Structure 1
Amino acid sequence: MTKSFNVGVVGYGFSAKVFHIPFIQQVSDLKLYAVVQRTPRPDDDPEKDHPGIKVYRSAEEMVRDPAVDVVIITTAPDSHFYLVKLALEAKKNVVCEKPFVPTEAEANELVALAQAQNKLLAVYQNRRFDADFVTVSKLVTSGALGRVVEYETHFDRHRPAVPTGTSWKTQVMPGGGAIYDLGSHVLDQAVHLFGAPDRVTGFIGTQRQGDTGGYEDSFTVLLHYTSGLLVTAKAAVVSPEEEQLRFWVRGEDGSYKKFHLDIQEEQLKAGMKATDHGFGSEPSDRYGIIGVLTTIKDGTPVKERFPTVEPPTWTEYYRKLARALAGHGDLPASGAEASRVIRVIELAQQSSKEGKTLAF
């Protein structure tokens, strides 16, 4: 009989409700068992949304529950180190929302603690399971493009107005700023696909006019490889394009250009459920226009429509987690892997300040 693992979620905000719980509930070997919510409201109460679960008012209280097998941390990044350490010391397996922690030193300490406790430590790099990234990965690893020399990955949007509100994503704080928020996605994908770089060059700053708070809303990071590969990872908030570039990969035998972000977040925000037919799938008219594969035939580039693959969706993250918990397979994204990405981010920050390329 397959063991079911009880999941406790710390935090009941947008991340928990939209990016975690719906996908946890798609995996039969995972059971939503408990939620930590400090101050429930009549219109925001996990007990009403998920009858039968336990609700705790603090993470400290929840990790003392011996029935909890794995703790999912969905709070702001400046709380991650404390909460991950708390859960590991209580001998719980842990999934931490990205960005993992603000520093590589903190990341390595938590990885070592997980090893000492013989527990699994994962980071929620769900965008490894974006349909567009899976498509790019297959093209690169299959050799369809030949030797890849340039890989561009973008998370650009046109949002020039200074944001209001109290979200950590727009605040100056440890683990804050676009390089941690969006960079942790695009840099993780690149390092997952190509491995750690040899050198890093970073340009991090603010594109919005009139933003006096010091929040860094944009970045360009170059990852240099001794193979000759150059990775360019970018996020911009001033990008008035009808269709935003997502990927542009160039190899000796072909190139691949893709516009628009993976559709899952867009669908979830529109109210679509992970169980709905078509979730995660791009309509054919969309990939027909924006998925372009250019190959060399008889010395001449030929442009072809290239369909996005059928998506594994973000449910695959939790499927892989359940298998790892059962001792069958690797984590979907380990703490050790996330530590490398945090190192890239720290080097990019240092490079941007010092105006020079740094060795990894």
Structure 2
Amino acid sequence: MATTSPTSPTSPTSPSGPATPAGAPLRVGLIGYGLAGSVFHAPLVAATEGLVLDTVVTSDPDRRAQVQAEFPDAHVVPSPDALFERAAELDLVVIASPNRTHVPLATTALEAGLAVVVDKPLAATAAEARGLAALADRTGTFLSVFQNRRWDNDFLTVRRLIEEGELGEVQRFESRFERWRPQLKGGWRESGAPEEIGGLLYDLGSHVVDQALVLFGPAVRVYAETDVRRPGARADDDTFIALTHANGVRSHLYVSATTAQLGPRMRVLGSAAGYVKYGLDPQEGALREGKRPGVDLPWGEEPEHCRGRIGSGESPLTGGGRPVPTEPGDYPAYYAAVAAALRDGGPAPVTAHEAADCLEVLEAARRSSEEGRAVNVSPRGATSV
């Protein structure tokens, strides 16, 4: 686990520059102002006590204007090199640029002594992710991966139900991140070029696999079907992943851009009861609409009619089971944990090793789909069939 090693609980330091004065906000540099940077990272950083958005990297004139309108006190620079020239003035770098840039940019930042947050996926392979984790350990720098879906309302509710024993012994977990997007949008996320690390397996798949591993522990066997459905598409847009966890739980995970009728977001079946929840967490939609944590309250809450239902032998579609209050979603908790770790030397909210475990499964899923058979997984080790 990579954590910071500050010289005092209130004064983080960086080999590349002077410590931020005790009590002053930690200065954040953000690389990338596309969807991830503008919708998720910048607003969440700005909403976090103890952090301030200091520098944003974008070469796009429209995005530059957007930054200046939304964060007038932030510096805007055209390239990562320009940001690293200001490394002595920063405490944390957030990498929200295209997937192919994650490893080289994180490497440069860590070698500069800067704390780093990288959007998922951390890398293309588990080996690369573990290499970054080792570099962070060697340099004594902080490294974390942005897995915001750990703070989705449905995930938090399922975790609560499991911890409280409401479901009995969980036997099967179903998770769907489905959309209806029959027309291609273009861009690197839909590219079939391996270096782009595009496609839904590594995009939405990073979320659903990470959630399953957090809930039920390591996977020992993976089976997957990845398909390219839309005309002109080059990367997978309709994917199914089946995991067998070491504890015997089976996870069935679906990610798709071609689902004309959406299934339940989550269905969890246990020996005592089952839980079914429809609809996505509202936080992404709120952020896209320009709403902000700490300003637009209550944050992360959904209407009562969206609640999932728990019961046994009954259909929730006909009113069976009882409605369960949904935990509020809490994306702000991620950067609050980052700020606390940097100030106090605590653990990263999501570690690079955890990200590597997720990538181990994604690599096994890709191999399974290519070979048409299940693949055995040894966490933090090689795969076999």
Alignment TM-score > 0.5, same fold: yes
Alignment of 1:200-349 (within 5 A): 200-208=222-230, 210-211=231-232, 213-241=233-261, 244-274=263-293, 275-287=295-307, 291-295=308-312, 303-311=321-329, 313-349=330-366
Are the structure 2 counterparts of residues 190 and 207 from structure 1 closer, same or farther at C-alpha, using a change threshold of 3 Å? Answer: same
- Counterpart of 2:84 in structure 1 is 63
Unmatched 5+ stretches in structure 1: none
Secondary structure in structure 2 of the residue aligned to 1:178 = coil
- Counterpart of 1:196 in structure 2 is 218
What amino acid does structure 1 have at the position aligned with 2:283? Q
Between stretches 44-53 and 313-322, larger displacement belongs to: 44-53
Percent identity between matched residues is 33
- Counterpart of 2:19 in structure 1 is none
Q: Residues 162-206 of structure 1: CA distance to partner in whole angstroms, max 9, x if unpaired?
A: x0432x221123321000110011111111111211111111112
Once the two structures are TM-superposed, the CA of residue 3 in structure 1 deviates from its matched residue by 4.9
- Counterpart of 1:37 in structure 2 is 58
Q: Determine the C-alpha separation between the residues in 1 that align with 2:341 and 2:82.
A: 26
- The answer as to whether partners of 2:200 and 2:239 remain within 8 angstroms in 1 is yes
Are the structure 2 counterparts of residues 193 and 57 from structure 1 closer, same or farther at C-alpha, using a change threshold of 3 Å? Answer: same
Between stretches 270-279 and 244-253, larger displacement belongs to: 270-279
Between stretches 36-45 and 113-122, larger displacement belongs to: 36-45
TM-score normalised by the chain length of structure 1: 0.91
CA RMSD across the alignment: 2.0
- The answer as to whether partners of 2:32 and 2:95 remain within 8 angstroms in 1 is yes
- Counterpart of 2:374 in structure 1 is 357
Task: Could you list the structure 1 runs, at least 4 aligned residues long, displaced by more than 4 angstroms after superposition.
Answer: none
Once the two structures are TM-superposed, the CA of residue 239 in structure 1 deviates from its matched residue by 2.3
- Counterpart of 1:14 in structure 2 is 35
- Counterpart of 1:109 in structure 2 is 131
- The answer as to whether partners of 1:272 and 1:279 remain within 8 angstroms in 2 is no
Q: Residues 15-39 of structure 1: CA distance to partner in whole angstroms, max 9, x if unpaired?
A: 2111011111111211111111224
Between stretches 86-95 and 169-178, larger displacement belongs to: 169-178
Are the structure 2 counterparts of residues 6 and 214 from structure 1 closer, same or farther at C-alpha, using a change threshold of 3 Å? Answer: same
- Counterpart of 1:160 in structure 2 is 182
What amino acid does structure 1 have at the position aligned with 2:282? I
Q: Determine the C-alpha separation between the residues in 2 that align with 1:37 and 1:302.
A: 51
- The answer as to whether partners of 1:218 and 1:235 remain within 8 angstroms in 2 is yes
Are the structure 2 counterparts of residues 296 and 327 from structure 1 closer, same or farther at C-alpha, using a change threshold of 3 Å? Answer: farther
Between stretches 257-266 and 36-45, larger displacement belongs to: 36-45
Unmatched 5+ stretches in structure 2: 1-21, 378-385
- The answer as to whether partners of 2:278 and 2:306 remain within 8 angstroms in 1 is no
Q: Residues 27-82 of structure 1: CA distance to partner in whole angstroms, max 9, x if unpaired?
A: 12111111112243497252343222222222122123202111001111011111
TM-score normalised by the chain length of structure 2: 0.85
**Aligned residue-pair number:** 348
Are the structure 2 counterparts of residues 73 and 141 from structure 1 closer, same or farther at C-alpha, using a change threshold of 3 Å? Answer: same
